[in-house]
Structure 1
Amino acid sequence: MATVLHHCTRLVPLFADLSQSAKDEIDALTQDRQLQKGEQITRPGDGERLVVVAHGLLKTYQLSASGKEQLLSITKPGGYVGEQALLGAPNPNAYTEALQASTVCFIDRSDFTRLLLDHPRLSVALLTATAKKIQRAEQQTGYLADESVPDRIQAYLQDLRTEAGTDTVTIPFAWKELANYLGTTPETMSRQLKIMTTAGMISRQGKTITFLCQ
């Protein structure tokens, strides 16, 4: 297993406001792991730990009664998963796996709990970051509540545009994953993007989309 020095404390906003001595303490408790695409890092029944993404992308999903995968979140560099279990509210059906070759850092629950007690700034940062994750989850629920698939797609793209603050945005993960996230299919997604392109609403180059109108 390769060791990558200081990945988490240098790259993750959660630790940004801590003193260097606190970062050194976290580094001493952190284990690094290289993941291949499709490799799972958490599954039901695993021990409780915080998993932080240094490089790459992770997806967290659960399986329906029929075995269909339901995407819950995509975690980009600087983000993390596992805080629900650390705070006593684990999802017993959740899996997390790499969408591409990734580097993650993880900290066991007992160590992280001690860090929270010893460093109040870390506790505040965790609460703030978790609130933002809840906001994104509520946003996804809003997409799925819309019965119109075209409206779901347009709402997602507009939110991406607003977040980026520019008319040109790049879809952060594969079209299949986005379709899953929005409760539709890649074929429907492709058709809707073609409709939007033909209507002069957007131009598209791969996963990069430029809005042509307000």
Structure 2
Amino acid sequence: MARQRAGRGAKIVQLRDKDSSDRRLLEKARYFRRRTTEAGALFLVNDRLDIALMSGADGLHVGQNDLPPEEIRRLAPDLVIGQSCNTEEQARRLGQQEQRSELVLSYYNIGPIYPTGTKDGLAEFIGPEAIEAYSRHCSLPFTVMGGIKEHHVEDLVRAGARRIAVVTAVTDAEDMAAETARLISRITTALEERDG
């Protein structure tokens, strides 16, 4: 899967696995690290700082209830660190930290944009109109995620997205590599049309 995604142009691959044993997760992470290195893609691990460090991952993505980004940065000063942002208030707090030069994140994620089955316990989806509202609070790069399918791309780009993250749009596809390539092509075209 990592080879299929990164081999077709995915610039970032995130390993999100809530079910594997620690040992199996580390094996997967090391496999993903090798494949993403071969493809020149950034490799992130979800939630698990220990696995990110042991596998040589480029970064770690955490949710609002996971390890505090400040502690992660203290332990791993060179790691790319991203955090999910599920409400406008969370985006506002990021902006306040940024203004005080206290923000340690490398990027943040806005979502879920659409209904999704991959994130339990989150509030309802926020819709593409939230992209502009959230992103005006903080100037860091951001991704958008949550229930995104290929036909959503143009609406997301029009709303201000530059980086679009997907899960089931690719993992549920018969040919993950071909679907990854289609999504990237569609995103690239939409960005070119928007940005001229």
**What is the TM-score of this pair, normalised by structure 1?**
0.27
Answer 1 or 2: which has greater strand percent. 1
TM-score in terms of structure 2 length: 0.28
- Bigger relative contact order (CA 8 A; separation at least 6): 1
Larger radius of gyration: 1
